[in-house]
Structure formats: C-alpha cells, structure tokens
C-alpha cells in the first residue's frame, strides 16, 4: 500500500485551523461533579437502606431501650429509668458470673485454638501430598453449625454413655460429669468452639504464610537459621498483623458465645447449667429478654457486651500501633 | 481495503500475559517449606481424624438404637437403624420443612448479599462521592457490633409487622453484610483497573451498563466466593432465627435446637436429626470444598 | 473527521495548588497527527483525558469539529481511545471487545461483524477473533486496542502511551505501523507519549508540555532546529543538546577560558535580563579543532555505536562560576581514535548556536 502522506498532512502543518468562536472560559463546572457523585450514592443505597433499617436503627434503639424498664409484651411503652438498668447490672451477681464465665471460656477457647491453628498452618505449608484433602477436611467443622456441633459434643461429653467417659474408663480413669462441674463444663464448651474454628484460622494463617516472600527464608537459611529459628524469626513476625486480626475476631466471637452454652445441657434451659456454671453474657442476655421478659435489662447487657468488645478492639489497636511504632 | 502489513512476529518476544498474583503465591508457598516428614503426615492425619470424627459419630449414633450406643464397648460402624431414626426425628421435629425453609432463607440471603455488596463494594472501590470515607468506616465499624445489640428492636419490629414465624423476618435483616461490602471492595480495588471503566465510558456505556457488562464479569470470582461463604453462614445462623421463628416454621438450626430440648432425649434420634440437618451443607461442602478453602484464604490475604 | 481545539483549557485537581493543565490553547487540524510530549507529570495525559471527557475541565473549553464538548460525557464526543494498558475487557473475546462500542451504539449484528472483520484484517488479527485477551501476546493486545478504536470510525483517535508496554524492538516496529495506519485512515489523532523519539517520528506536529504549560507546538523539524526555549531545546533530541550558561562578553559568551562567538545584536538582546546567556549546540554541530582553538574539554567516556561515536566530555578548565547543565556530548565519526582522559578542543559550526536569555529561558534569534 502507499502511505498517503500527502495533502492532509501538509495542509495541517501549513495552517492550523482558526479557533472557533471562543466560549466563556469561566463557567461553573459543579454540575457534572454532582451527577457523578449521585451515581456513587445510587450504588450504595440498597445496602445502606437495609443496613440502616435492620442494623443501625436497632443499635440505636437498643441504647434507648436500655434506659427503660420494659418487657416484650409492652413493646412501645415502658418507664424511663435512666441508668438504673446499668446500675442494677453492675450490682447483679448474675452479670458478674456470666462475665467471669465468658472470660474464662473465652481464654480456654481462643488461646489453645490459635496456637494450634498456627502450628497446623505450619504443617499445611509443607509441600504435601493430598494438600487439598487436608485443607478441606480441616474446614469441615467450620461448615458444621453451632447447633449440630453442640448436639454431637453434648452426646460425646455425656455422663452416662458419652463416648469420652467410656474411653476414660477404658483406660482406667474416672468418668467425669462434664456438664455439672464448672471447670469441666467450660472446658467442654471451649472444646466445641476450638473444634469448629481451628481449621478456619489455620487456613487464614496459611494464606498469610504463603504471602511471605520465599527469599526471606532463603536469606535466613544462608544465615544459618534452623527451621525452628526460621519459624520464630521469619514466620511469626510476618504473621503478626494476621495474628492480631484473628485474636480480635476470635475474641469478638467469644464475647458473643451463645449457642453452645444454650444447647450444651440438651434441655434448652437458658440458665447455663443448674448453678449457672457456664452461663455466658450472650446467654444471659437471652435469658433476661426471652425467659424473664426484662427487655430493658437485656438491652443493657447487650450494650455491656458491645462496650467489652470496644475495649478489646481498642486495646488490640493500641498494641498493634505500639508494635508498629517500635518496628520503625 | 488494502491490508496494512503488520508482521505477526511479536508473539514470542514480548512479555507473556502475567499470571495472577494469587496463583504465583500458591505455587511459591507450596514449594517453600520443603518436603514434609512422616511426623507431619501423622500429625495432620490425627487432626483430620479429630475434625471428622464427631461428624462420623453422628452417623454411627444416628444409625443405632439408644440401647445399642449405650453398650460397652460402643459401636464404631454405622448400622441399619438409620432410616428408622430418620423417621422418628422427622416425627419429632419438622426437619423436612426446616430444610426447605433453610434453602429458601439462605438462598435469598445469598442472592441479596452478593448483589447489594457487589454494588456497594464497587462504589466504595471505584467511584468518588462525598462522604465515602465516612460511610466506609461505618460499614467496617459495624463488623464488630455483636448481633445481640440488634435483636431487641428487631424483635419489636417484626412483632409490629406480624412477621414472627415468617421467613422474611430472618431474611431481611441478614440481606446485607458489612463483611461482604468490604470483601468486594478489596477485590475490586485490585482486580478492576480504572482504565477498564474509562474504556467503557469512551465506548459509550451507561453507568449501569458499565456495572453489568464490565464490573460484574470482573467481579465474578469474588462474587462466587462471597456467595459460598454467605450461604454457609446463613445456613448456620442460629441466634436470630431462634428468636424470630418457632419450631412450627423453623430453619434447620431452630429445628435442631428444638430436637435437643425434648423432655425425653433420645440420643439416636437426636443424632439422626442432626445428621439430616447437616447433610445438605456437608454435601455442598464436599463438592465445593476446594473453592471454599480457596475463597477463605483469598479473603484472608485481601482483608 | 474533525478539528480539535483546546481554548484556555485548565484542570486543577482538588487539593492541589498548581493546575495540572494550565490555560492550554491548541488547534489541531482535521486529519492531523498531533503528539503531546513531555516528562511525567507535565499534564499531557490530563490534557488527553480532558479531550476524552474522562477529566473535568475547570475553565476554558474544548471543541471537536464545531461542537463545544466541554461538558459532554465521553460517549457524546465521538472519540475512540487507546489506553496505555490497553484496557481490554478480560471476559470478552477479541471480536466482542472490538464490537462492544458498536453494540452499545445499536448497530446490527451483521454490520458489526463486517466492520470488526475488516478492522481485524487490517491489523492482522483475523485468526484471533475468538480468543480472550489473556491468550494474546502483548503486541496482539495492543493491536486489539487499536482495532477497538478504528472499528468505530470516530472523529478523533486518542492514544495514551499505547506503546509503552511493548519491548523496545516491537515498539519501533509498531510506531511506524500506527503512523502509516493513521495516514491511511486520515482520522485526526492526538497521541500522548513521554518518549521524544516517538513524538518526533510519528507526529505531524508535536506539542511539548512542562508543568501543565504548553512550551511549543510545531513540526518536528522546527522543534529540532528552532526550539522556543531552553526546556524544549534540552528535551528534544537524543543525546540532548549541550547547554552552557555564561556571561556575555565582547564577541560572545564566556565559557571557561574560551568565548563562544555570538553575533552582537543577538547577544545584546539575550543578555538584556541579567547579563547571562545560555547557549546550546547539538552534539552533531561540534567539530574537533586543533589545540588551543575553541573549548578545551576532557573526555570522560567514549560510546561507540557503530554508525557514530559519542564523546561524553566535561570542560577542562571549568571554573566554579561556569554553570553547565550537563557534560558536553560530541558526535564524531565512528572509530575516531579518542580515549577517555584525553584532552580535546571543540569548535561549533557556524550558525549552529542556539541562544537563550538565561533569565527568561526564551530563545533569542
């Protein structure tokens, strides 16, 4: 083909076109900015409509309810009692019992769980045969619902015919009345939580481990670090943000613990054991509202739970920031 | 028209398409830590057994009579009474209905969540509008608010609307998720180049058309992950359905709770019922397990 | 086909003091290939995006043909754009990518297929129409991006560094092809690049931008021969023009111990601001002279390119008060027997000196 470098080109060079009649240079340009703005709102609108109606509004309303003496049957009314509910809550032995239990079960459930998850992630990070199989199997408990898991475990922990007691007796130990004891029942509940979440957290750690550049390990290897030293000095520090994240998420979950203690006894009582030995804050709130019909009191407990979570998240954020600053 | 002679000699020379970062990561991670020894396999097998055993035990216990499980030593293999126990469980609790309800509820929640969260996640990732930062921190902030904080007013609301024991009472409040918005946003920030949106605008696509023809196809992998996770979470949701529904019109979890709180606990029947209610997710999990695992790990890195 | 005109067009990004594009005035003729060139951050891409409708115009206006499009969205401007990273829709085949705009414009399926196939033939993409972008090489993707623009037969092509993701050899190949294609289609084209060689080889005219301000817009030849200011002089040409600044003295400009001869009249006007003058001369306008004659320099590095050789030198007797922006580069015949460390004397060709006011940086003729 021939390249038509002729007329157009030279014409263009010879005479740039005269400028068309100039338009006013200083016109307002706000209009288009606004239309583009509006599209953003249109996209988030469906989310925020549902969100406002079923989350934001209830959160606020719960605060309002917590300042009233009211019951479920008396939905719109109720008497203003100010901070009385909070005062009562802080003086209530039920609250402190539940708070104590939530704390101990929380520690029993999260600390071993996250440590095991970390170790498990380390194992899964090897070049394994049947890698997908192991990962999938370890996530099975996560797919099992709280209700199903608790029903199964309450059978396994059963006093008379529970498999765990049967095995304890088989090796010559004493059977334990898991449900009745304070420590034993809390351990049992912590086991359920640990069973359900260890694999999930291991996968989160595994993902973080895999994003650590291999060169770091090679450098450590050249520096003569053993595998264990590498784990300690390369893996753990790189995982710190992820570990902090899982701690926060697990603790938030632990504060809300509800289904396991509700179903553990197998009879659906809301007292958390005959002497409240595994009563948690989540269960207490349900008991106050739906067994005792003290809605105001229940709302107060809910807000107390939220406060506890805020403190935990706040403390973790501060720790995270201090560590980050120390690193700099 | 004459053909402009452009030699197709560039095929091998210039850079090949870059592999997605996640895939590279997976490869690198697999080879990095070296070869595992027998101890590793033993430990992993042990953990795998512990993970599976309670579920297997559900099958064993659910397929025997009460007397048989109480025997010493207890049975360790499934038995023939499974279907009798299924029948008994179905008599005691409306598990069949519960499964249908759970499918409806979880399905609706999944569709709604994926749709709304993709819309909002896209806006937060790629559009400029006033108050965006504030709205986004609101979304992230609510991820740490406990469910307990909402249930009282929600219960009042559905009582007012006469929705107690109606499925919409458990669908609507869960129709969106803050996690979902955040997840989609993180994905789209890295997966959707601005140039692609601009190309759409230059090609003459309307804002909605850009969303439908460009954003959604790009977002599809993340939408699939979000769908699986949402379905799983919705299926296993316990607290709010327990409050909003009764055993007359339950979801699976509510039915299971009812099953467990009978006065004369029949262990084998409870286990058979539990098995029935868990089976659907386990089947889904067996089929999609690999994708769910991938999704959780992907979400972990993005988050 | 259409003319394009920027009239005092400015863009100021929010939270930014300085305009990204400052009162740009530019007339582009129908069918012209205009290149916007400049260092990164000079506003060339912003200008292009303002023309595309992807960036707002804060003041001034933009006209395509006889239509003021300042406030029009991109789709009403009848333009097509080729992006730096090509921006191919990953989930669509090559054919769907190229036909997407036509589909949105409501063009029938048959018509679409015809036009896409025609463009594919021109770009040698016929065998790849059913492939996804992922399965194409970088060069092929680049051509799909071109194809997507040409099937629309728009009034203006906009190209934003379309070659920067190709390797060097392919880039040189493709740039001639794009230029030839544009001549054949005769579509007005605005092309952005940071590479002055690309700009010089492709453009009918080249507009040089710096800090959002248009420095000079002219044909490649004029830019090279008569740069309007020090920036253009240094930016256009490779290796760059040698620029030295010194005091105006009798008969020329004092550089070290030597005086570069500048005609009196020119010198007077150039020194009007502060008595200092910047002179420039291109590497190829330098001769090696005998000892004691001209600028004494010491050779630092000798670059043998085969067709030429470049000597990178510095002034041998540079006192501290002589400002020189860089080493002096000299082009010589290849295989000139010169070694680094050697002392040489340079003379400039008659009339080859570019003279600039050192204060205003503007050219003085």
Q: What is the set of domains in chain A, with CATH numbers?
A: 26-65 (no CATH), 83-327 (1.10.3720.10)
Facing residue for A20 by CB, picked from C57, C66, C204: C66
Decide if C183 and A3 are in contact by the 8 Å CB cutoff. yes
Q: Would you state the pLDDT for residue C111?
A: 94
Higher pLDDT, A271 or B109: B109
Whether this model's ipTM surpasses 0.90 comes out as no
**Testing the interface with C: which of B5, B6, B13 to mutate, by most C Cβ within 10 A?**
B6
Q: Taking residues A24-30, report their average pLDDT.
A: 47
Q: Would you state the pLDDT for residue B105?
A: 95
Torsions phi, psi of B137, nearest 5? Answer: -70, -30
Per-residue pLDDT band for B263 (boundaries 50, 70, 90) equals low
Per-residue pLDDT band for C357 (boundaries 50, 70, 90) equals very high
Residue B74 CA to residue B77 CA, distance in Å, equals 9
Q: Taking residues A103-110, report their average pLDDT.
A: 92
Q: Would you state the pLDDT for residue C363?
A: 94
Asked if pLDDT for residue C165 goes beyond 70, the answer is yes
Residue C41 CA to residue C237 CA, distance in Å, equals 20
Tell me: the pLDDT tens digits for B147-169? 888 888 888 888 888 888 889 88
Tell me: the pLDDT tens digits for A203-213? 999 988 888 88
Tell me: the pLDDT tens digits for A281-311? 989 999 888 888 888 888 889 989 999 999 9
Question: How far apart are the CA of A238 and the nearest CA of chain B, in angstroms?
Answer: 13
Decide if C7 and A18 are in contact by the 8 Å CB cutoff. no
Residue A219 has what DSSP assignment?
H
How many Cα neighbours within 13 Å face the side chain of A310? Answer: 9
Q: Is the dihedral of CA B121, B158, B244, B168 positive or negative?
A: negative
Tell me: the pLDDT tens digits for A212-239? 888 888 888 888 888 888 888 888 888 8
Lowest mean pLDDT among A17-26, A152-161, C181-190: A17-26
Instruction: Give the containing element (helix H, strand E) for A283.
Output: helix A281-286
Tell me: the pLDDT tens digits for C130-161? 999 999 999 999 999 999 999 999 999 999 99
Most confidently predicted of A15-29, A175-189, C57-71: C57-71
Tell me: the pLDDT tens digits for C58-77? 999 999 999 999 999 898 89
Residue C52 CA to residue B171 CA, distance in Å, equals 45
| C→A interface, C-beta within 8 Å | 3, 5, 7-8, 25, 27-33, 56-61, 63, 66, 68, 70-71, 180, 183-184, 186, 204-205, 219
Nearest residue of chain B to residue C166 (CA atoms): B14
Residue A171 CA to residue A165 CA, distance in Å, equals 10
Per-residue pLDDT band for B21 (boundaries 50, 70, 90) equals very low
In the beta sheet, which residues pair with residue C35?
C191, C206
Lowest mean pLDDT among A5-9, B142-146, B280-284: A5-9
Most confidently predicted of A242-251, B58-67, C312-321: A242-251
Residue B89 CA to residue B58 CA, distance in Å, equals 13
Please tell me the CATH code under which domain B93-301 is placed: 1.10.3720.10
Residue C3 CA to residue C61 CA, distance in Å, equals 14
Per-residue pLDDT band for C318 (boundaries 50, 70, 90) equals low
A-chain residues near C207 (CB < 8 A): none
Residue burial C97-108, b: 16+ Cβ < 10 Å; e: rest? bbbbbbbbeebe
Nearest residue of chain C to residue B17 (CA atoms): C134
**Testing the interface with B: which of A3, A32, A34, A43 to mutate, by most B Cβ within 10 A?**
A43
Three-state secondary-structure class, residue A271: coil
B-chain residues near A128 (CB < 8 A): 36, 40-41, 44
Question: How far apart are the CA of B259 and the nearest CA of chain A, in angstroms?
Answer: 9
List all residues of chain C from 177 to 196 with a beta carbon under 8 Å from chain B: 177, 180-181, 184
Decide if B218 and C137 are in contact by the 8 Å CB cutoff. no
Higher pLDDT, B103 or A38: B103
Per-residue pLDDT band for B20 (boundaries 50, 70, 90) equals very low
Question: How far apart are the CA of B297 and the nearest CA of chain A, in angstroms?
Answer: 5
Higher pLDDT, C337 or A283: A283
**Testing the interface with B: which of C77, C133, C139, C141 to mutate, by most B Cβ within 10 A?**
C139
Residue A37 CA to residue B127 CA, distance in Å, equals 8
Question: How far apart are the CA of B203 and the nearest CA of chain C, in angstroms?
Answer: 5
Closest CA to A199 of B38, B239, B289: B289
Lowest mean pLDDT among A150-164, B165-179, C161-175, C318-332: C318-332
A-chain residues near B241 (CB < 8 A): none
Asked if pLDDT for residue A325 goes beyond 60, the answer is yes
Q: Would you state the pLDDT for residue A22?
A: 43
Paired tokens of C287:
């001769």
Residue C362 has what DSSP assignment?
B
Q: Taking residues C320-345, report their average pLDDT.
A: 75
Q: Would you state the pLDDT for residue A128?
A: 84
Does the beta carbon of A33 lie under 8 angstroms from any beta carbon of chain C? yes
Decide if B157 and A305 are in contact by the 8 Å CB cutoff. no
**Domains in chain B: boundaries:** 93-301
Chains touching C (at least 3 CB pairs under 8 A) are A, B
Strand pairing report for C33-37 and C205-210? parallel
Facing residue for A23 by CB, picked from C28, C29, C68: C68
Share of chain C above pLDDT 70, in %: 97
Tell me: the pLDDT tens digits for B3-13? 333 333 333 33
A vs C: CB pairs below 8 A: 76
Higher pLDDT, B38 or B81: B38
Asked if pLDDT for residue B276 goes beyond 80, the answer is yes
Share of chain A above pLDDT 70, in %: 86
Decide if B10 and C173 are in contact by the 8 Å CB cutoff. yes
């Amino acid at each position: 083909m021939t390249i038509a470098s002729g007329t157009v080109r030279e014409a263009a060079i010879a005479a740039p076109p005269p400028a068309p009649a100039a338009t006013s240079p200083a016109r307002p340009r706000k209009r288009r900015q606004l239309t583009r703005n509006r599209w953003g709102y249109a996209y988030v609108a469906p989310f925020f409509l549902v969100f406002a109606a079923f989350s934001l509004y209830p959160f606020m309303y719960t605060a309002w309810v917590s300042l009233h003496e009211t019951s479920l049957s008396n939905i719109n009314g109720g008497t203003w009692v100010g901070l009385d509910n909070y005062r009562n809550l802080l003086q209530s032995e039920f609250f402190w019992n539940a708070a104590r239990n939530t704390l101990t079960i929380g520690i029993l459930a999260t600390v071993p769980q996250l440590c095991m998850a970390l170790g498990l992630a380390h194992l899964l990070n090897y070049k394994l045969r049947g890698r997908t199989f192991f990962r999938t199997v370890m996530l099975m408990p996560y797919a099992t619902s709280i209700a199903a898991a608790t029903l199964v475990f309450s059978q396994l922990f059963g006093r008379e015919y529970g498999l765990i007691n049967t095995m304890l007796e088989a090796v010559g130990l004493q059977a334990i009345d898991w449900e009745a004891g304070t420590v034993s029942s809390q351990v049992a509940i912590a086991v359920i939580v640990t069973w359900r979440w260890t694999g999930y957290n291991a996968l989160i750690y595994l993902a973080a481990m895999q994003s650590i550049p291999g060169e770091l390990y090679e450098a450590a290897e050249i520096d003569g670090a053993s595998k264990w030293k590498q784990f300690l000095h390369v893996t753990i520090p790189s995982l710190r943000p992820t570990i902090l994240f899982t701690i926060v998420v697990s603790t938030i979950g632990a504060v809300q613990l509800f289904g396991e203690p509700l179903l553990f006894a197998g009879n659906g009582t809301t007292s958390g054991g005959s002497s409240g030995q595994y009563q948690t804050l989540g269960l207490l709130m349900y008991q106050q509202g739906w067994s005792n019909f003290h809605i105001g009191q229940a709302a107060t407990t809910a807000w107390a739970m939220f406060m506890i979570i805020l403190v935990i998240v706040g403390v973790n954020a501060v720790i995270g920031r201090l560590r980050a600053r120390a690193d700099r | 028209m004459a053909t402009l002679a452009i030699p197709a000699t560039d095929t091998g020379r210039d850079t090949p398409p870059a592999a997605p970062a996640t895939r590279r990561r997976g490869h690198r991670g697999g080879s990095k830590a070296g070869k595992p020894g027998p101890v590793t396999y033993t430990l992993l097998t042990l953990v795998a057994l512990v993970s599976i055993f309670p579920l297997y035990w559900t099958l064993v216990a659910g397929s025997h009579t009460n007397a048989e499980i109480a025997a010493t030593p207890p049975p360790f293999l499934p038995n023939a009474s499974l279907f009798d126990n299924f029948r008994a469980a179905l008599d005691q609790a409306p598990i069949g209905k519960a499964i249908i309800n759970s499918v409806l509820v979880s399905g609706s929640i999944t569709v709604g969540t994926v749709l709304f969260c993709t819309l909002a996640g896209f806006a937060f990732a790629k559009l400029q509008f006033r108050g965006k930062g504030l709205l986004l921190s609101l979304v992230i902030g609510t991820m740490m608010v406990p469910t307990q904080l909402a249930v009282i007013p929600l219960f009042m609301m559905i009582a007012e609307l006469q929705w107690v024991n109606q499925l919409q009472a458990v669908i609507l409040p869960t129709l969106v998720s803050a996690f979902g918005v955040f997840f989609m946003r993180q994905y789209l920030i890295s997966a959707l180049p601005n140039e692609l949106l601009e190309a759409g605008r230059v090609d003459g696509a309307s804002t909605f058309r850009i969303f439908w023809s460009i954003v959604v196809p790009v977002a599809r992998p993340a939408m699939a992950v979000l769908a699986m996770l949402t379905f799983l979470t919705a299926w296993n949701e316990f607290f709010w359905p327990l409050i909003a529904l009764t055993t007359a019109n339950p979801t699976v979890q509510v039915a299971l709770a009812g099953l467990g709180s009978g006065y004369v606990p029949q262990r084998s029947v409870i286990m058979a019922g539990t098995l029935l209610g868990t089976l659907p997710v386990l089947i889904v999990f067996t089929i999609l397990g690999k994708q769910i695992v991938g999704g959780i790990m992907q979400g972990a890195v993005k988050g | 086909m259409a003319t394009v005109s920027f009239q005092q067009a400015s863009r100021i990004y929010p939270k930014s003091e300085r305009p990204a594009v400052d009162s740009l005035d530019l007339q582009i003729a129908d069918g012209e290939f205009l290149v916007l060139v400049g260092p990164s951050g000079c506003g060339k891409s912003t200008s292009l995006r303002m023309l595309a409708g992807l960036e707002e115009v804060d003041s001034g206006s933009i006209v395509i043909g006889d239509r003021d499009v300042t406030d029009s969205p991109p789709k009403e401007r009848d333009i097509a754009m080729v992006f730096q990273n090509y921006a191919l829709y990953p989930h669509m085949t090559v054919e769907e990518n190229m036909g997407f705009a036509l589909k949105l414009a409501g063009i029938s399926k048959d018509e679409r297929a015809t036009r896409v196939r025609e463009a594919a033939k021109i770009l040698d993409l016929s065998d790849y129409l059913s492939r996804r972008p992922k399965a194409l090489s970088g060069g092929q993707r680049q051509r799909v991006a071109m194809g997507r623009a040409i099937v629309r037969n728009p009034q203006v092509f906009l190209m934003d560094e379309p070659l920067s993701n190709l390797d060097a050899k392919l880039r040189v190949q493709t740039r001639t092809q794009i230029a030839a294609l544009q001549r054949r289609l005769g579509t007005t084209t605005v092309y952005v690049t940071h590479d002055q060689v690309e700009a010089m080889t492709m453009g009918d005219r080249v507009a040089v931008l710096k800090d959002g301000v248009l420095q000079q817009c002219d044909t490649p030849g004029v830019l090279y021969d008569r740069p309007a200011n020090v920036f253009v002089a240094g930016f256009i040409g490779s290796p760059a023009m040698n620029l030295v600044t010194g005091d105006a003295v009798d008969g020329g400009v004092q550089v070290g111990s030597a005086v570069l001869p500048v005609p009196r009249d020119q010198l007077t006007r150039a020194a009007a601001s502060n008595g200092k003058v910047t002179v420039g001369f291109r590497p190829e306008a330098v001769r090696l002279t005998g000892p004691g004659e001209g600028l004494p320099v010491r050779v630092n590095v000798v670059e043998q390119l085969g067709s030429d050789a470049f000597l990178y030198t510095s002034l041998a007797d540079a006192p501290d008060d002589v400002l020189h922006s860089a080493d002096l580069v000299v082009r010589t015949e290849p295989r000139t027997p010169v070694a680094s460390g050697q002392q040489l004397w340079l003379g400039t060709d008659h009339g080859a000196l570019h003279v600039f006011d050192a204060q205003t940086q503007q050219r003085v003729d």
